[in-house]
């Protein structure tokens, strides 16, 4: 069982948390027109990398707060924990963020008011 | 009472002055305090303990530890009986009752042993090969296979009467294994003042030192050094010593699970103690000192009782004071067995010979054996063992230098004990569970720990460092490193001096005895004793084309028994590598998984059983429902009143009475379980506009509106009525089962997508008790109950809310309806639940008020075509599929699910859509979940239209109604469909209708009807 460092409560057992899957999936706004295929990428496609992964976690049986985690899916090392709405600061997380295919999707571009 | 004729004197852990009585297969025996069941049986001369899994061959005691593959017994009686316990691990207590397993009718005469005669027809993969065809026969085969398969029998009583507990602990250093290295490491680590837990699976600390008396540490006998270390450790407040405790699991981030056997060794078990305790420990550093396991040798007949590991015999002599035979043959490929041979002779046994597979032998221990007058046959191997229920004779052959050929004629020697040693295998299980790498040790012919994955170090024999002095050095080094890594300090000890005869721990590569018989012929040479896998099985697998160790493992089942191949894995790898012509490291090894040894499921469950398995939520009116004789149903964690049968009423009669009352007089429902969420903040209206498909910012204060929530894929997720209490304050209701999920869902959007919104969500489900009063007399009853609110249609129209008092209780009154009748939901602070309920029942008595349960509620809502999320929807249904286009806002720029509803596939005319079904025969009630077709005469598989989601006999309508999700259903109105039935029953004929069966205009609910 993993031990996750909740940024608000400190290190706790994994069973206190629920994993919210891939982080940094920007939600396209409905009034920004994008194709069904581009919208489908937002809705259905999730990364499952072997290695560094940016994930959302929630301290469900604790403070109920969401936060982001940089986790190595092979070693289970927790490389960084950072607040919702912010981006990873350390190298591994930054690299994973910048190299994600999502950064170039129409769905991500449609996530801001145009 | 049988005598202990093989008892020597007290061993290092036994006390001969404390006799204990026990029975095995109904016969009484005597052992003594400190014995295991195995040592006590051996003391009585009992070697035949059980029958093997597949061939039902007679089996005895091979080892003295957790690696035991053969001596599995059932201990205890009745509900307390536990099967498959290793006799070598069962501590003796007075009155212990043990029985042998896998035999019928008796251990000596077993019918299943005919399998042994048939064994030519039971090769590896037998089940895969034989029971393949014809498929329809599997049912027949299975019956016999199930009867023949499996080890032991579980207790007949399904309820485990024992109590188990769990405990959690954090500490800096966990040390697994309390042998020489573990004790040394614990003392060194303990000096730092950090929290240390030392665990050992045995009742006494000391490990191999308890069995090895020919050694001195710091000029004192090893056993005295153990006692000294224990007294030092027990004085340290920061050190926890756990005996009888197995570290059976090693998870991520140093999450350690320990199984402590608290009372299994006691003849009277104090009521306040649990049988076992599960320790869940999060450690900063872990040190593994789990020792090693001796390997058997593979030769024909090597499974006979009386053939034991040499180290085990040494343990029985020294640790328990039991001599397991009188005339022994030692067969070995290494030096360690010489210690055992000398111990055997010193204890009064007669060593007929040491058969050593090595052509050249040298060193002090060999000299010691020669000096003791023990004949040594070097360059020889055991090529066969013979006997009926016990070994009586062995065949010894000269072998080639590489051990692969038999050279010349065989000798035959009689004996009553064979002590075998095939070299030492480090116990790397925990290191491997922790995802540590293994590396091949070409000198000691074993895998030993390589790089660790967790913050973990292996020391001593489990690290391939079999030499005692070296193990102690590693212990001090590892403990110091662990202390330093967590910022601690300690005085570093110097390694104690070890005085012992030096031996080499390098065995000869000799994975199986050579044989003159052809492939698959000759006597069985067992590799995996518990799963009855022979060397021939592994060779057969290779001949049949298996290459990968993982495949060979699964095909032959070697290493897959409950012992996880503790004694067999290395021999299997050696034989496999030989057969493939590869080196062992190239063949690789399989992965060890938790648990290290089998552990009780009761302990894993702990107290979370029966009523404590899951929380049960009761409403405040629960006691009233119970005294009214209500039947209950589970809705999520809630217990809800299902229906209230009068004396002699069936469920159908009760529900008919309840639904009729709700439409003709008045019905009262406990709706307290509905999810209630308080939504506040300056952005509450904006937030709800995004969460719901319809508009809530336009809702006037004091008004209620039904809302539908979608997931972002456009599928219906939940529904409920939400009321605006003030400009920035809403009261949301959700489905009973969906409440927690909806709150989490909304929190997620607030925290992750719209953190800029000023909204606070609070679950208030349990703050309110809710009674729903429904029916034409509802208004009159409320007035009789002294309500302070003007209930006239103009002052208090449908879909509005007012606060006031009822029977003196503060209340929020909602005029909303899930029945289609004039209906009020009365919310009072939770503690007034019973007061409200009884007040309404009293006020309603004259009006025929009738409490109704969830079943009647379902019928009433279905008559009106109101959906239940989770019944009419299943996560693939959109509002458009439900015919609820009216609730999807066209004006709002966005809401969750909006874009998804615009996908082209959403307009597919073949989507399943919700319709009503009215059976042509009004008495037919379609089973829920049944499928509908257009043509019941078509051959199967039929073209299915969809399925029935809800179906009821409607007493109010006088016919049966149903709802169904049918392909293109909205276009099928008026069409006839058929519902094929099982078991040759005639298909049910039904007509597709609108979903609203009752009062389509809503006159009753709006109060515009005069009934």
Tell whether the torsion through CA atoms of B916, B920, B921 and B924 is positive or negative: negative
Residue B624 distance to chain A (closest CA, Å): 33
Closest partner residue to A65 (CB to CB) among B453, B712, B751 is: B751
Cβ within 8 Å of residue B834, ≥6 positions away: B620, B621, B623, B624
How far apart, in Å, are the Cα atoms of B548 and each of B112, B534, B658? Answer: 32, 18, 67
What are the residue ranges of CATH 2.40.30.110 in chain B?
908-1004
**CB contact B129 to A (< 8 Å):** no
* Confidence category of residue B1, pLDDT binned at 50, 70, 90: very low
β-pairing, B327-332 with B417-421? parallel
| Set of chain A residues whose Cβ sits within 8 Å of the Cβ of B748 | 20, 58, 66
CB contact under 8 A, B755 and A30: no
- pLDDT of residue B517 exceeding 90: no
Whole-number Å distance between alpha carbons of B108 and B112: 11
A35 touches chain B (CB under 8 A): no
* Dist CA B325 CA B307 (whole Å): 10
* B894: chain A residues, CB-CB within 8 Å: 29-31
User: CB–CB of A43 and B255 under 8 A?
Assistant: no
Alpha carbons B262 and B257: distance in angstroms, whole number = 15
Residue that wins the pLDDT comparison between B124 and B182: B182
Q: Which residues of B touch A6 (CB under 8 A)?
A: none
Interface test with A, best of B752, B876, B907 (most A CBs within 10 A): B752
What integer pLDDT is reported at residue B33 of this predicted model?
Answer: 96
Cβ of B747 within 8 Å of Cβ of A27? The answer is no
Q: Residue B508 contacts by C-beta under 8 Å, 6 or more apart in sequence?
A: B333, B334, B357, B358, B403
Measured between beta carbons, the chain B residues lying within 8 angstroms of A3 are 252-253, 255, 282
B-chain CB neighbours of A1 within 8 Å are: 251-253, 255
| Chain A residues 70-109 with a CB less than 8 Å from chain B | 75-76, 84-85
Identity of the residue in A2, A44, A66 whose CB atom sits nearest the CB atom of B748: A66
B255/A contact by beta carbon, under 8 A: yes
Residue-wise pLDDT for B879-912, tens only, equals 999 999 999 999 999 999 999 999 999 999 999 9
Length of chain A (residues): 114
Please report residues of B whose CB lies closer than 8 A to that of A20: 748, 752
Work out the minimum CA distance from A47 to partner chain B, whole angstroms: 18
Q: Where in chain B is the domain with CATH 1.10.10.1100?
A: 510-582
Instruction: Please write the tens of the pLDDT for every residue from B725-776.
Output: 999 999 999 999 999 999 999 999 999 999 999 999 999 999 999 999 999 9
Cα–Cα distance between B712 and B401 in angstroms, integer? Answer: 74
Residue B900 sits at the chain A interface (C-beta within 8 Å): yes
Q: A61 CA to chain B: closest CA distance, Å?
A: 12
User: How large is the average pLDDT for residues B505-523?
Assistant: 89
Pairwise CA distance, residues B152 & B289, whole Å:
32
- The CATH architecture assigned to B1-157 reads Roll (3.10)
A30 and B898 within 8 Å at the Cβ level: the answer is yes
Query: CB-based contact (8 Å) between A62 and chain B?
Result: no
B890 touches chain A (CB under 8 A): no
- Look at the domain B510-582 and name its fold: Arc Repressor Mutant, subunit A (1.10.10)
Q: What pLDDT does B908 receive?
A: 94
Domain with CATH 3.50.50.60 in chain B: 164-292+426-500, 297-422
**Dist CA B671 CA B168 (whole Å):** 40
In the prediction, which pLDDT does B133 show? 55
- Predicted confidence at residue B117, as pLDDT, reads 64
Residue B899 has its nearest CB partner, among A39, A66, A84, at: A39
Contact A29 B712 (CB under 8 A): no
| Strand B716-726 versus strand B704-710 pairing type | antiparallel
Q: Look-up: residue for tokens 């006159």?
A: B1003
- Contact state of A20 with B748 under an 8 Å Cβ cutoff: yes
Does the pLDDT value for residue B561 go beyond 70? yes
Of the given ranges (B115-124, B424-433, B819-828, B835-844), which has the lowest mean pLDDT? B115-124
Q: Does A39 touch chain B (CB under 8 A)?
A: yes
- Give backbone dihedrals phi and psi of B449, rounded to 5 degrees, phi first: -60, 135
pLDDT value of residue B1010: 43
Domains and CATH numbers, chain A: 3-109 (3.30.2270.10)
What would the pLDDT profile of B639-669 be if each residue is shown by its tens digit?
999 999 999 999 999 999 999 999 999 999 9
Q: Does B753 touch chain A (CB under 8 A)?
A: yes
Sign of the Cα torsion B226, B231, B235, B239 reads positive
Q: Quick check: B536 pLDDT over 70?
A: yes
B253–A2: do the CB atoms touch at under 8 Å?
yes
Query: Per CATH, the architecture of B297-422 is what?
Result: 3-Layer(bba) Sandwich (3.50)
**Can you tell me the distance from the alpha carbon of B252 to that of B286, in angstroms, rounded to the nearest whole number?**
12
- Mark yes or no for CB contact B255/A13 under 8 Å: yes
The C-alpha of A104 sits at a distance from chain B's nearest C-alpha, in angstroms, of 20
Average per-residue pLDDT for chain B? 94
Measure B735 CA to nearest chain A CA, in Å. Answer: 21
Q: Which of residues 428-467 of B touch A (CB under 8 A)?
A: 453
Q: Which pLDDT belongs to residue B53?
A: 84
Residue in A closest to B748 by C-alpha: A66
Of B440, B573, B442, nearest to B511 (Cα)? B573
Query: Looking at beta carbons, which residues of chain B come within 8 Å of A41?
Result: none
CB distance A20–B893 less than 8 Å? no
In B, minimum Cα distance to A85 occurs at B752
- Predicted confidence band at B1008 (pLDDT cuts at 50, 70, 90)? low
- Min distance B169 CA to chain A CA atoms (Å): 12
pLDDT value at position A114?
73
Nearest CA in chain A to B436: A75
Q: Give the CATH superfamily of B908-1004.
A: Aminomethyltransferase beta-barrel domains (2.40.30.110)
> How distant is the Cα of A110 from the closest Cα of chain B, in angstroms?
12
Measured in degrees and rounded to the nearest 5, phi and psi for residue B544 equal: -85, 5
* pLDDT surpassing 70 at residue B136: no
Contact (CB, 8 A) for B874 and B680: no
**Cβ contact B807:B747 at 8 Å:** no
**pLDDT confidence band for B75 (50 / 70 / 90):** very high
| Residue B1011 confidence (pLDDT) above 50 | no
Shortest alpha-carbon distance between residue A58 and chain B (Å): 9
pTM for this entry: 0.91
pLDDT value for B102: 77
List pLDDT tens digits, range B4-31.
Answer: 899 999 899 999 999 999 999 999 999 9
Q: Quick check: B748 contacting A, CB < 8 Å? A: yes
CB pairs under 8 A between A and B: 57
Q: What is the spatial distance between Cα B163 and Cα B76, in angstroms, rounded to a whole number?
A: 16
Closest CA to B321 of B17, B744, B626, B733: B17
Pairing, β B255-261 against β B800-806? unpaired
User: Is A111 touching B (CB cutoff 8 A)?
Assistant: no
Check whether B805 has a pLDDT greater than 90.
yes
Query: How many angstroms separate the CA of residue B351 from the nearest CA in chain A?
Result: 51
Q: Is the Cβ pair B744, A29 closer than 8 Å?
A: no
**B164-292+426-500 CATH:** 3.50.50.60
A28–B899 C-beta distance less than 8 A: yes
B905 and A36 within 8 Å at the Cβ level: the answer is yes
Name the stretches of chain A with pLDDT < 50: none
> Which residue in B has a C-alpha nearest to residue A28's C-alpha?
B899
Please, what's the largest Cα pairwise distance for chain B? 116
ipTM of this predicted structure: 0.97
Q: How confident is the model at residue B984, as a pLDDT?
A: 79
pLDDT of residue B121: 63
């Amino acid at each position: 069982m993993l031990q996750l460092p909740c940024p608000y409560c400190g290190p706790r057992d994994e069973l206190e948390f629920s994993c919210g899957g891939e982080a940094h999936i920007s939600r396209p706004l409905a009034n920004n027109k994008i194709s069904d295929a581009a919208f489908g990428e937002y809705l259905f496609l999730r990364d499952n990398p072997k290695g560094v992964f940016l994930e959302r976690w929630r301290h469900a049986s604790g403070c109920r707060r969401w936060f982001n985690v940089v986790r190595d899916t092979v070693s289970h090392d927790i490389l960084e924990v950072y607040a919702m709405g912010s981006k990873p600061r350390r190298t591994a997380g930054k690299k994973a963020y910048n190299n994600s295919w999502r950064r170039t999707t129409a769905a991500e571009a449609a996530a801001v008011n145009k | 009472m049988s005598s202990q004729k093989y008892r020597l004197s007290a061993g290092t852990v036994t006390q001969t002055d404390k006799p204990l009585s026990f029975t095995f297969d109904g016969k009484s025996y005597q052992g003594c305090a400190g014995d295991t069941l195995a040592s006590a049986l051996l003391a009585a001369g009992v070697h035949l303990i059980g029958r093997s899994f597949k061939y039902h061959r007679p089996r005895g005691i091979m080892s003295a530890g957790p690696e035991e593959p053969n001596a599995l017994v059932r201990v205890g009686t009745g509900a307390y009986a536990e099967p498959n316990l290793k006799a070598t691990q069962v501590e003796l207590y007075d009155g212990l009752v043990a029985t042998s397993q896998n035999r019928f009718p008796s251990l000596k005469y077993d019918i299943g042993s005919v399998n042994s005669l048939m064994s030519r027809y039971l090769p590896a993969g037998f089940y895969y090969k034989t029971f393949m065809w014809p498929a329809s026969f599997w049912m027949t085969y299975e019956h016999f296979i199930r009867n023949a398969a499996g080890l032991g029998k579980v207790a007949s009583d399904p309820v485990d009467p024992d109590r188990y507990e769990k405990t959690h602990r954090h500490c800096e250093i966990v040390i697994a294994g309390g042998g020489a290295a573990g004790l040394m490491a614990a003392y060194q680590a303990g000096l730092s003042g950090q929290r240390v837990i030392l665990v050992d699976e045995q009742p006494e600390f000391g490990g191999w030192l308890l069995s090895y008396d020919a050694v001195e540490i710091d000029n004192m006998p090893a056993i005295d050094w153990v006692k000294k270390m224990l007294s030092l450790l027990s004085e340290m407040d920061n050190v926890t010593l756990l005996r009888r405790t197995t570290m059976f699991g090693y998870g991520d981030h140093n999450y350690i699970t320990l199984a402590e056997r608290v009372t299994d060794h006691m003849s009277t078990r104090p009521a306040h103690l649990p049988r076992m305790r599960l320790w869940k420990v999060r450690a900063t550093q872990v040190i593994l000192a789990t020792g090693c396991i001796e390997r058997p040798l593979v030769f024909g007949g090597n499974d006979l009782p009386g053939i034991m590991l040499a180290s085990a015999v040494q343990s029985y002599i020294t640790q328990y004071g039991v001599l397991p035979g009188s005339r022994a043959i030692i067969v070995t490929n290494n030096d360690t067995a010489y210690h055992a041979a000398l111990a055997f002779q010193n204890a009064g046994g007669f060593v007929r010979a040491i058969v050593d597979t090595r052509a050249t032998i040298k060193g002090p221990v060999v000299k010691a054996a020669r000096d003791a007058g023990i004949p040594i046959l070097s360059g020889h191997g055991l090529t066969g063992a013979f006997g009926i229920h016990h070994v009586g004779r062995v065949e010894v052959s000269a072998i080639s230098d590489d051990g692969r050929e038999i050279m010349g004629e065989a000798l035959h020697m009689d004996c009553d004990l064979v002590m075998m040693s095939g070299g030492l295998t480090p116990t790397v299980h925990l290191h491997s569970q922790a995802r540590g790498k293994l590396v091949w040790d070409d000198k000691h012919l074993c895998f030993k720990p390589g790089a660790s994955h967790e913050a973990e170090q292996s020391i001593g024999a489990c690290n391939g460092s079999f030499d005692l002095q070296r193990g102690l050095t590693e212990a001090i080094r590892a403990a110091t490193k662990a202390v330093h890594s967590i910022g601690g300090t300690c005085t570093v000890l110097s390694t104690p001096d070890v005085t012992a005869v030096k031996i080499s721990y390098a065995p000869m590569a000799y994975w199986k005895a050579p044989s003159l018989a052809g492939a698959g012929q000759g006597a069985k040479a067992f590799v995996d004793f518990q799963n009855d896998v022979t060397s021939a099985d592994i060779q057969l697998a290779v001949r049949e084309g298996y290459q990968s160790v993982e495949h060979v493992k699964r095909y032959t089942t070697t290493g897959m028994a409950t012992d996880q191949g503790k004694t067999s894995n290395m021999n299997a790898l050696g034989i496999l590598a030989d057969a493939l012509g590869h080196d062992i490291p190239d063949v690789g090894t399989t992965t060890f998984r938790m648990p290290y040894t089998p552990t009780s499921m009761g302990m894993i469950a702990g107290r979370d059983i029966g009523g404590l398995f899951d929380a049960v939520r009761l409403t405040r009116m629960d006691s009233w429902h119970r005294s009214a004789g209500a039947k209950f149903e589970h809705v999520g964690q809630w217990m809800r009143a299902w229906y209230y049968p009068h004396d002699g009423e069936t469920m159908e009669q009760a529900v008919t009475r309840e639904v009729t009352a709700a439409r003709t007089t008045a019905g009262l429902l406990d709706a307290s379980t509905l999810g209630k969420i308080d939504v506040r903040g300056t952005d509450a209206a904006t937030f709800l506009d995004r969460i719901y498909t319809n508009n809530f910012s336009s809702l006037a204060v004091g008004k209620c509106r039904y809302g539908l929530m979608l997931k972002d894929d456009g599928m219906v997720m939940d529904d409920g009525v939400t009321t605006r209490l003030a400009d920035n304050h809403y009261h949301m209701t959700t489905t009973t089962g969906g409440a927690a999920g909806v709150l989490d869902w909304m929190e997620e959007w607030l925290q992750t997508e719209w953190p800029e919104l000023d909204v606070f969500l609070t679950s208030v489900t349990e703050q309110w008790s809710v009674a729903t009063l429904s029916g034409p007399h509802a208004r009159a009853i409320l007035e009789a109950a002294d309500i302070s609110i003007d209930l006239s249609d103009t002052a208090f129209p449908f879909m509005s809310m007012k606060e006031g008092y009822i029977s003196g209780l503060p209340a929020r009154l909602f005029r909303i309806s899930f029945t289609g009748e004039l209906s009020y939901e009365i919310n009072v602070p939770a503690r007034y639940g019973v007061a409200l309920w009884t007040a309404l029942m009293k006020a309603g008595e004259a009006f025929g008020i009738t409490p109704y349960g969830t079943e009647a509620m379902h019928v009433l809502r279905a008559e009106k075509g109101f959906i239940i999320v989770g019944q009419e929807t299943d996560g693939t249904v959109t509002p458009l599929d439900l015919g609820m286009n009216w609730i999807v806002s066209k004006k709002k720029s966005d809401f969750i699910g909006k874009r998804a509803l615009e996908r082209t596939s959403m307009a597919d005319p073949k989507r399943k859509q919700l319709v009503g079904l009215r059976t042509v025969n009004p008495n037919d009630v379609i089973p829920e979940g049944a499928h509908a077709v257009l043509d019941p005469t078509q051959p199967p598989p039929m073209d299915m239209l969809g399925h029935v989601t809800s179906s009821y006999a409607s007493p109010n309508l006088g016919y049966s109604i149903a709802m169904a999700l049918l392909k293109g259903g909205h276009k099928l109105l008026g069409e006839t469909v058929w519902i094929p039935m099982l078991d040759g029953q005639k298909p049910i004929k039904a007509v597709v209708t609108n979903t609203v069966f009752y009062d389509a205009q809503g006159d009753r609910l709006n109060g515009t009807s005069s009934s």
